[in-house]
């Protein structure tokens, strides 16, 4: 009886310590978020005075021709019975061939894979899925509908609904984060995992605590904890701040042409679309105890050396979570590697597929 009581007491003490630590971390996070938000809000309203009344006017767009180009693929939908939502996807290639699943990042869309859909479709059935809330996928209401695990389960059911026993997962940014958890938890569904500029959740959390440089790069993560202000800020002055993410200080102006930017503006001008993108960040638990198994599937990590949002060190830290891994850097490339350097990016994919068949 005394042993049982001692164990209960120990668990109780540990639980209280964890709760206190979570409160402290939450307070620090909110303090950082508030400081960043005050600076951004001051700048925002100063610029409103300079630009005029149209600064905060929400603009809407019609779908540009580039999104309707049949050469990119066929638009389709799958209803996920267990998850209760419909996901949009674009497919190209023969359905009888092996499946490559492409998963976009946050503040992006299926369109970010426009250089890969055709590239691999001769040998594969290539599917670029739109995450819940994005593009023409369903947008369930409520912040809690956009947790990491809900997206993981969406994609698990989506792969099963496509009717393939195995597939190759290629993810970028937030899509790769979802992939790290999905492929680790359900390895039997996948042949290989390829991530581009998307770090393992443990690697990111660990590095964020130790690196002031990464904390500065992650300003938007803290800013997105605030209610309402992020959506207002991203949409202001014709989605100016949103476009700055793509341009990465104008280094990607040749990649993100006016036509490409119009496609992104179309999707994010839809009702609730910006809130969906922000809600993932609002669900981040900086004290998460999520258990992620070691990655057993052959893994390729592709990283742009000039990434403005994620340190180069995160690639090596993520590799430590894998049993069979290769890390490839693309010198001079930024965060959006599959769009900025599509020829070299596709070459790396082909080479890796050939040695892991």
Is 331 one of the annotated active-site residues of the chain? no
Residues 6+ apart with CB under 8 A from 50: none
Helices (H), the chain: 2-51, 114-117, 148-161, 174-185, 201-210, 212-217, 219-223, 229-247, 258-268, 273-282, 313-319, 337-340, 342-355
Q: Which one of 146, 264, 267, 281 is the catalytic residue? A: 281
Active site residue 89: no
Can you list the positions of beta strands (E) in 81-146? 85-92, 99-103, 125-129
b vs e for 202-216, b when ≥16 Cβ sit within 10 Å of the residue's Cβ? Answer: bbbbebbeeeeebee
Angle subtended by helix axes 229-247 and 2-51, to nearest 10: 80
Looking up tokens 């059911």 gives: 157
Tally of CA atoms within 13 A in the half-sphere of 238 that contains its CB: 7
Residue 302: in which H helix or E strand, if any? strand 299-304
In DSSP terms, which residues pair with 129 in a beta bridge?
89, 103
Q: Is 173 a catalytic residue?
A: yes
Options 135, 136, 173, 311, the catalytic residue: 173
Nearest one of 97, 96, 101, 104 to 78, comparing CA atoms: 101
**Cα distances (Å, whole numbers) of residue 232 to 65, 128, 148, 236, 274:** 27, 29, 24, 6, 9
State the catalytic residues.
173, 281, 335
């Amino acid at each position: 009886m005394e042993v049982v009581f001692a164990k209960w007491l120990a668990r109780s003490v540990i639980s209280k310590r964890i709760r206190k630590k979570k409160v402290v971390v939450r307070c620090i996070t909110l303090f950082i978020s508030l400081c960043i938000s005050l600076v951004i809000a001051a700048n925002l309203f100063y610029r409103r005075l300079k630009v005029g009344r149209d600064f905060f006017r929400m603009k809407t767009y019609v779908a540009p021709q580039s999104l309707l180009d049949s050469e990119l693929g066929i638009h389709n939908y799958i209803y996920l019975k267990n998850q209760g939502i419909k996901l949009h996807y674009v497919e190209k290639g023969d359905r009888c061939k092996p499946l490559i699943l492409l998963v976009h990042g946050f503040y992006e869309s299926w369109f970010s894979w426009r250089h890969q859909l055709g590239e691999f479709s001769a040998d594969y059935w290539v599917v670029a899925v739109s995450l819940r809330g994005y593009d023409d996928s369903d947008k369930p209401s409520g912040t809690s509908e956009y947790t990491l695990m809900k997206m993981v389960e969406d994609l698990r059911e989506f792969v099963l609904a496509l009717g393939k026993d195995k597939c190759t997962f290629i993810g970028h940014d937030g899509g790769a984060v979802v992939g790290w958890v999905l492929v680790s938890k359900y390895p039997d569904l996948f042949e290989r995992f390829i991530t581009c500029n998307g770090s393992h959740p443990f690697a990111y959390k660990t590095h964020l605590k130790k690196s002031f440089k990464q904390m500065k790069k992650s300003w938007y993560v803290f800013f997105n904890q605030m209610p309402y202000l992020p959506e207002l800020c991203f949409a202001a002055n014709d989605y100016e701040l949103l476009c700055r993410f793509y341009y990465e200080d104008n280094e990607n102006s040749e990649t993100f042409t006016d036509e490409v930017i119009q496609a992104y503006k179309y999707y994010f001008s839809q009702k609730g679309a910006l809130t969906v993108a922000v809600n993932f960040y609002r669900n981040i638990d900086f004290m998460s105890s999520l258990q992620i198994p070691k990655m057993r599937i052959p893994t390729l990590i592709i990283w742009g050396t000039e990434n403005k949002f994620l340190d180069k060190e995160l690639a090596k830290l993520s590799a430590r979570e894998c049993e069979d891994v290769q890390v490839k850097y693309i010198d001079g490339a930024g965060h959006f590697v599959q769009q900025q350097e599509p020829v070299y990016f596709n070459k790396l994919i082909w080479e890796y597929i050939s040695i892991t068949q």
